[in-house]
A = this chain, B = another copy of it.
Amino acid sequence: MFNLLSLQGGIDNVEGFYSDGVNVGLKTKSVNPDQIDGDVAFIRSDKLCEVAARFTTNKFQAAPIKHYQKYPEGFQTNFLLMNAKNANAMTGAKGVEDIDALFEKLGNHITLHNPIMSSTGVIGYRLKQDKISAAFEQFDYNAKNSDKAARSIMTTDRFKKELCFRVELDNGTAFHIAAICKGAGMINPAMATMLCFITTDADIPKADMEELLSEATEQSFNRISVDGDTSTNDTIMLLANQASGVYHKEAFRQALNKITFELAMMILRDGEGANKLVAFEVKGAKNDAEARQASIALSNSLLVKTALFGEDPNWGRIASTIGASGIECDDTTLTIHYEHLLIYSNDQRELDKERENQAYAIMKNDSFRIICDLGIGEGSYTSYGCDLSYDYVKINAEYRT
């Protein structure tokens, strides 16, 4: 019906989009020296873009989000400005004014139509107008430097996150969908500190953008947890310039789901100090909501996360977390598997040496599934978590300074 081809590079491959990133001195040191390449970046389109966006559920939404929300429903844009190291959050009315002031300066360099800004970094400081506007002199507005843009939005990320698919339809036509993304900590199943900008040249109608972006977010970013915290700045945005003139809804859906799921897994793998990616599959719950509640409790539990780091098949912490999650459960119907290996059931409560050794072997992998069947109903949900290591504490105790 259609082919999804993974291409090298990010948004460079998407017709009519341009991007660049430069360093103006907001980032001076970093977890990863590669990040220092840039701290201010842009994505722009020749043609006006339709936009769909999902923002953080945090009540204290950052200034860039408030700025976006001042535009009327259905507005079109040609420019997205991004910066790292400063979230422009909790900055009050001044925070929004600062964005307008920046765009006034930027307008001297490039034609702007409803420009959007997105920020990540420390909360509580005003944007440095001089530093950021210095970038406007340095940007190459016709560059295809997705790599630099992707690096510029990294904060505690260990690696850049950038993906592109070419979607080839049976009739020989094609469109592209690509994204850059940042996120490593403060990730919770409510789309926490992460920014994700998806560009496409597909000729997608605005209504489909909203529908498919919601679906894609729910099955990806909303299911991952690094530390259970939800930031003030989380943003996932889809920009469509329709330049290819080509569209196929089911193909677009699959491509968008794939790109967002893969990026979510990249965030989790990059979870601050994280070494393991674990899928917590809860099934047999009273309903999907209860399965979700237990699954998310598992991916957020400190005791589960430290047991993963210690590679300790201590299933008692799994059971205890389910029991404490507030859902209906019963220790006589519960079963716990690590991959295919039965770890706990009513008849087999104690882990003998042989199964314990098999469990150790599974836990040595850098990703595996923990499957908890409550044996009560038909509800199921899978969320994704990671371990908690010394490095998480180190990164987060020392961040900011």
Contacts and interface: CB of A to CB of B under 8 A. Distances in A.
Interface string A272-316: 000000000000000000000000000011110011011010111
Given A124-B349, A310-B398, 12 more contacts: A57-B324, A59-B322, A59-B323, A59-B327, A60-B322, A122-B316, A124-B344, A125-B350, A185-B303, A230-B324, A232-B319, A232-B323
A390 interface: yes
A229 B302 contact: yes
A231 B317 CA distance: 9
A227 interface: yes
Q: Which of A60, A94, A327, A329 has the most CB of B within 10 A?
A: A60
A303 B389 contact: no
Interface string A340-353: 00001010011100
A143 interface: no
A110 to B, nearest CB: 30
Interface of A: 56-61, 87, 89-92, 94, 122-126, 185-186, 188, 190, 192, 227-232, 300-303, 306-307, 309-310, 312, 314-317, 319-324, 327-329, 331-332, 344, 346, 349-351, 388-390, 392-394, 396-401
A160 B240 CA distance: 63
A188 B87 CA distance: 31
Contact of A320 (B190, B228, B229): B229
A377 to B, nearest CB: 15
Nearest to A343: B124
Given A59-B329, A60-B319, A92-B346, A227 B122 contact: no
Nearest to A57: B324
Contacts of A232: 316, 319-320, 323
A230 B316 CA distance: 12
Interface SS majority for chain A: loop
A350 to B, nearest CB: 6
A90 B316 contact: yes
Nearest to A91: B349
8 contacts: A60-B319, A61-B323, A89-B320, A122-B316, A123-B316, A123-B317, A186-B303, A231-B320
A117 to B, nearest CB: 18
B349 A316 contact: no
Contact of A351 (B124, B190, B388, B399): B124
Contacts of A188: 324
A397 B320 contact: no
B320 A60 contact: yes
Given A303-B396, A316-B87, A324 B123 contact: no
